[in-house]
Each structure stands twice: as C-alpha cells, then as structure tokens.
Structure 1
Amino acid sequence: MRAVGIILAGGNNHRMKELSNKRAIAAMPIAGSYRSIDFALSNMTNSGVQKVAVLTQYNARSLNEHLSSSKWWNFGRKQGGMFVFTPTITKENSFWYQGTADAIYQNLDFLKRCHEPYVIIASGDGVYKLDYNKVLEYHIQKKADITVVCKELPSTEDVTRFGVLKMNEDCRIEEFEEKPMVSNSNIVSTGIYVIRRRQLIELVERCAQEDRYDFVKDILIRYKNLKRIYGYKMQDYWSNIAAVDSYYRTNMDFLKPEVRNYFFHQYPDIYSKVDDLPPAKYNPGSEVRNSLVSAGCIINGTVENSILFKKVFVGENCVIKNSIILNDVYLGDNTHIENCIVESRDTIRANSYHVGEDDIKIVIEKNERYVL
C-alpha cells in the first residue's frame, strides 16, 4: 500500500451528552465487543496500510489503554506500525490541538519522515468497512488533489451535523458546507480523505501560518474551487456515532441479521483488543430474545432487543428491553430498564425503574462500587 494512515481520534461532541464525560468518542463501545476506533484501524490493516498515526486528545485515558498494544490490529511489526500521538508541549508550541488541521500540523514530523506518496485520513467515530485501495485507485484515476469519501443518506436522516456536499456528473465537488442549518442535499462527507503527502504538508503548513486550524473549513471548503476535489461514493453500510440517538441506532443495527452477517461473518474482519473472559452464563429462569450478549455476562432475568457488553450481571426478575448496557454493569433484582443506555461500571440498585419515554434515557448511577 502506497499510503500512510492518520486517524483523528481526539474530538469531543456535546451531542453525546454524558456518554463522553469519561471517554473519547473514538473509544465508545460498539456491538458488544468493539470500540469505535476498531473499525478505522481494521480497515487500515485490511487495506495493507503498514504505518498508522492515531491522534488522541480529549479524555484519552481509556482510548490509550485500548491502543496499548498494536498487535490486535496486526501493527506489531518491525517496519511501520501504529503510533499514538497526544498533544505535546514543545519549545515552539504549548497548545492543545486547536482543530483537525492543527493536530496534523503538530505531528508534521511524522509525515515528513514517511516515504509513502499518499495519506489516508480517517475519523475514529465511523462504523463501516472500506477498502482504501479502491479509494486510492479512484483518486489516481481522477487525478484529484483531494478525494472525499461520501455517503448518500436517506431523505429522512438529519444531515445538519455533517459536512454536506454537491457533486457534478464527473463527481467533482462543487459545493461543500459544514453542518448547515438547512440542506437540500443528502450526500455527506464520511470524514475519510485521500491526499498526496507532500501536498498535505504544504496545505497544513500554510494553514498554520494563517492561524487556521480546521481541515474541513480551512482546506476542503476554502480550496474547493482551486483544487481538484472529488467525491468517492460509498455504497455499503456506514454510520457515524457522534450523537446519542445515532450511537443508539448504530448499536441496534447489529440486532439485524444482515448487519451482523456483514460485519461478523464476511471478509475482511473487524479486529479488537481481546479480553480473557468466560462465555456468557444463562441461569435457570433467564430468557433472552433477539439480543447480543457478550462474554463475561451472567443473566438471571429477561433480556429483549438489547445489547449487553462485557461483564454485565442481570439480577433476578430483571426486565431489559430495547436498551444498551455498557461494560461491567451490575443490575440489582427486580430492575426494569427500557429504552435506555446504562453507563459502564454502574451499580443499579434493586427495584429500580428506568424508562426512556420520548427519547433515549442515559442512566448514570453515581455510586462507588470500587473502594480503595
């Protein structure tokens, strides 16, 4: 693969509400056993990208722990590998990353030391499979300066939290608007870009000289009439999880057989850090219907249309419906959870009742289970 990878995983989003209080969005649990960043990393290694930089910043502790060993994504190699970069105080700079372009600029030495002619930039909050080789071939065929991977969303989808674009018949991008109030297009940027390495260095350095910090606003939108910027349409499943309703819907999509088959049973695979846990245990009297139950769970109650992440304990006579229970949650006896997301490492007291009426309810019990 003639490209080096950059994964932007340092962002925060108020649309995630309390879910991003203690973790980066790229570290959000997905589909029982994965983290959001696993999809971008797996796509990199499956496409033959041998050198990947992950740029982290906001609430990076759990994300850095997850990335502590690169072997899970086959980046444990003598040449290349995975590099995790956090903001660093230097003689010239003492700022955190002030935007996506600034994050790349502060790690520009990494790009300058590389020899690959192209760079693949991806965000850490997308759930998808993509062969980046096909995007690179398209990029070269079109003689593009920048290629933006885009996706056409259903007309019912809210596109105002994405970058919305319009292309001509040759797929050249003519209009690009970031998070518009109103949009008459439903083609959105997926946050995946291909660009020549030397050109990226030149554009990012120019942004820094002009005190510009954002890759989309200060490079894509600013240069859309000066550079040859093309769109590559993705046809398969793609979802961005950077909002509570989208995060909930993306996880629930894995209850659909076709989505599970696409991600779990079709080549190429999605990889993640593996925990040594026993298989889920279903005690007498438990009942589970149309749900994903991860390793380490113990079920004593009823679980329906839900996703249980690792090490969840469900007490006697519990009822869980249409909910997501994150890692290491203890649900006391006679608890009723419906249309909720329960934060990880929570202890829900016995006889609790939590139901999301009009929207998805985030359940956070502020109690201390782990005492020093």
Structure 2
Amino acid sequence: MKKINGTIASPKGFYADGFHSGLKRKRKDIGWIYSEFPASAAGVFTTNAVQAAPIQVTKSALASDSLQAIIVNSGNANACTGKNGVLHAQEMQQMAAEKLGLSANSVAVASTGIIGQELPMNKIKKGIFGLEKTAGVPSYFHEAILTTDTRTKEIVVEAEINGAIVTMAGVAKGSGMIHPNMATMLAFITTDAAVEKELLQQTLKMITDKTFNQITVDGDTSTNDMVLVLANGASGGAVIQKDDSGYQVLIDMLSQVMEELAKMIAQDGEGATKLIEVKVAHAKDQLTARMIAKKIVGSSLVKTAMFGADPNWGRIICAIGYANPSIDPDKVDISIGSLPVLLNSQPQVFEEMKMREILVQDKIVITVDLHEGTAVGLAWGCDLTYKYVEINALYHT
C-alpha cells in the first residue's frame, strides 16, 4: 500500500465538485461526490439524541441497495429545524438527484454549520445548479465542506487487491464541537474496490471505534456528523470477501485513511497550536486502553498544560484515575515525549530544558503503561488555547 497525491475523485468512476452559493460570505459552501456506477455504501452517525434532518434523510437512503452521490452544504447545519428541516433535506436530495439523473434514494445528504436556522433553499438551488456532474474540480469539494477549519483534510492510498489496483480516497471536515461517538465532523471515503454492503458496514464501524471515535477537541458531541463510504467496484477486481486475503488489505487501507483524517481533525482543532497523541499500553482490554487515552486527551487541564508547555503530569494521572477506577494506581508509568515522569507511580527527575524542547513542538506524545495486560489504545486531541474561546464566543456573530 502506498500514499499518492489525489482527491476524493481519484478512485475510478468518481467525480466531485464544489460551488459558492452564498450560504457563506466567501468560501465555497456546497458540493457533491458522484459515482457513475451504483456503489455499496456504509455510514456511521452522531450519537447525539438530537440528530439533524440530513442524517434522517441519509439513514433512509442507506436502506436502499446502493448510493451514487452525496450532496453536502456548509454554513448551515439544518439541525433543530423541525418538519421544515426534513422537507428541505429531502428537497436538497431531490434537486441533486434530478441534476445527476438519479433516483432520490440513491443520494445521501449532509450539512454542517450553524444550528437552528432553516436552509435558504433558493441558495441551495443556486448551488446545485452550479455544480458540474463530471467536469467539476474535485478539490473544490474539499473546500466546500469546511466551516471553521483552517485547511482541507484529504488522503489517497493505493494497493493491490485480488489482482486489481485499488484506490481509496478520504476527505473530512472538523475543527470544533469535536467529541465523537460520532461528533462534529463529516468524513467521506470513496474506493473503486468491490465490497459487499454488509461487510463494508461492519468494517467501517470497527475502524471508526479505533479512529474517529478516539479524537476530541472540546468534549461537545454534535447533531450532524457522519462518516460515509462508497465502494463502486470500478477497479475491476473480484468482490472482497471476509475470508480472503484481500479483506485484510481493505482493512489496512481504510484504517490508514481514517486514522490520518482523524489526526488532521484533531490537529486542526479550533485555535489549536499542538496535536496531542496519547498511547495507553498494557491495559486489561482494548476498551479500557482506548477510554483512558481519550480521557487524558480530553482533559481541559491536560490540554491547557500542553498549551502552556507545562509538564504537569499530575493532571495526566488524575485523568487516568477517573477514567477507570479499577486500575492499580501503584504501578503506572507515564512519559511525555521520550522523558519518563512517573515509573511505578513514583515521580521521576527530568531535565527541564529537554522537557521544554518536547513541549514546544507542534506534536506531543504522552505514553502511559498500566502493566496490567496486553491491550493498547490510542487517542488524539489538541491543546486548549485563548483562540478557541475567541472563535466560539463569536461563532454566531
């Protein structure tokens, strides 16, 4: 498997475009992904009990045999908008379907932006009218899904499966209100592999638990967020089965795409200056390892310490304790970067200048060893800065 340059439309048979319809002042705000062939589709969604209208419409579309397109807008979440919100999401779906020459239930819908405002359908119509079916600029789609993001987030990988060269591409948005099980993020993945729908869904869910569900920026779980995968089989290879060697390659490709997108989201957290990666080793089980890692990276006190380059490891051991009270508190190791700060729960002396060099980097790795088992968990987040408060204090205005 290798990483290559490309876009969400790099896999065979996929096209994409983006357009500025006026939902946002300047940046592109509506886009679509189109497959010329019906594609197996899988999705995971926010666990917030309040779910936006586009999620309801997309869940219904996923019940059909296949999807061929995804229409997405930014600048307006179409969330908490009542019956009109659902009607508008369905109208958005229908307009995109008609423009692409598809049935409505083969089109997924996603929205992101401000909650509680109805979609201005005149602008949505203008945007869909401006999108190109096969002559668009795929990178415009990457731009069209952004809200407070400072950069686009994309990755393309290539590998051989069942004798065919398979390409997989991913693009995501997410910067604030990030605390998945799913949370504020949208991610779209395309591949020209041939995968049976149920297997694709199982695989997506499995990898989501280890990637997108292991990032946090601010602890808020959103109303809109989803990950969708389309697999159209255009590479020409055999349909991937769970018991063949090609399935592991598919897992590896999807894992790399989703993990790298997750890290990009965490690193681009609103106001962030540093990516924080936490690795918990030798836990009793994988769930314990993942949850402890996520509690550490989600701690506001840990996040502010990393922002201030303060090696306050007491905040880390505190987060470990409230994440899982059943651990043995007398045999915990903690390292910040390459420097141990706690061994067998005993404080360690470290060189302050070396620690300073570690903490001013734009990526900080915290490693925890519980000495209780063999399981490992990873989580990613960012520091908490003055800028985060400024962005979110003025988000609506």
TM-score for both structures, normalised by structure 1: 0.25
TM-score, normalisation: structure 2: 0.24
Structure with more helix by fraction: 2
